[in-house]
Amino acid sequence: MKPSIIIADDHPLLLKGLHDFLSEKRFNIVGQYPDGNAAYNAILKDKPDIAVLDIQMPIMSGIEVAAACKKNKIETKVVLITLHREKDLYLQAKELNIFGYILKEFAIEEIEVCLNSVIEGKPYFSPNITQSLNVDEQADEKLKLLTPSEKKILKLIAEDNSNKEIAELLFISARTVEKHRSNIISKLDLTPKTNSLLLWAKEHSTFLI
């Protein structure tokens, strides 16, 4: 049986266009919804395999639906469609374990490729957005190895805080900060030179949200 898919967009014409296109391509569309709340209720009730969601929708945004799915360990794979190219939004979406991210202007060109990739269990992130944002996928993967505490320390390092200042800000000892620094250097696979961590943190500061 073909994987079940729901779609949600608050623009009726875009919703209909997406529905008609995917139906024509013989994808199994089991529901279409005008806002994020309706889509999330359908995810809870019907447990579709995939949910294609506009990022900006009334009541619940696509990001909020993805966050709720992650929090409640729902297995529906979320694909987000957006008009926006902001890196912060892209990185926030990736933190939510989404399976796809494409720009609306390329949606009809890419949605079929995206869904076929997701059906095979492979996440799809539009080259049109990763290239335009100059997204460093390798850095993104490395950051996933860090604990929340290590990410917080890395962000403070990027802001030119010393070990002593970081210790005071986080109410921990300077020795603990040094131990975290050593672990971060190891996880990021950096050479333990004096400035290697500072330079990496500054270069990738937009990932530290």
DSSP E strand stretches across 68-196: 77-82, 100-103, 124-125
pLDDT, residue 168, reads 93
Residue ranges per domain, the chain?
Answer: 4-135, 140-207
pLDDT level of residue 136 (50, 70, 90 thresholds):
low
Residue 196 has pLDDT above 90, yes or no: no
Q: Which fold has domain 140-207?
A: Arc Repressor Mutant, subunit A (1.10.10)
pLDDT, residue 3, reads 93
* Strand order from edge to edge, sheet including 28-33: 28-33, 4-8, 50-54, 77-82, 100-103, 124-125
Mean model confidence pLDDT for the chain: 88
Residue 89 has pLDDT above 90, yes or no: no
What percent of the chain clears pLDDT 90, i.e. is strictly above it?
56
Residue 132 has pLDDT above 80, yes or no: no
- State which amino acid sits at residue 20: D
Between 112 and 95, where is the model more confident? 112
Q: Which fold has domain 4-135?
A: Rossmann fold (3.40.50)
Residue 90 has pLDDT above 70, yes or no: yes
The answer to whether the pTM exceeds 0.85 is no
Between 41 and 108, where is the model more confident? 41
Evaluate whether 4-135 and 140-207 have a shared fold.
Answer: no
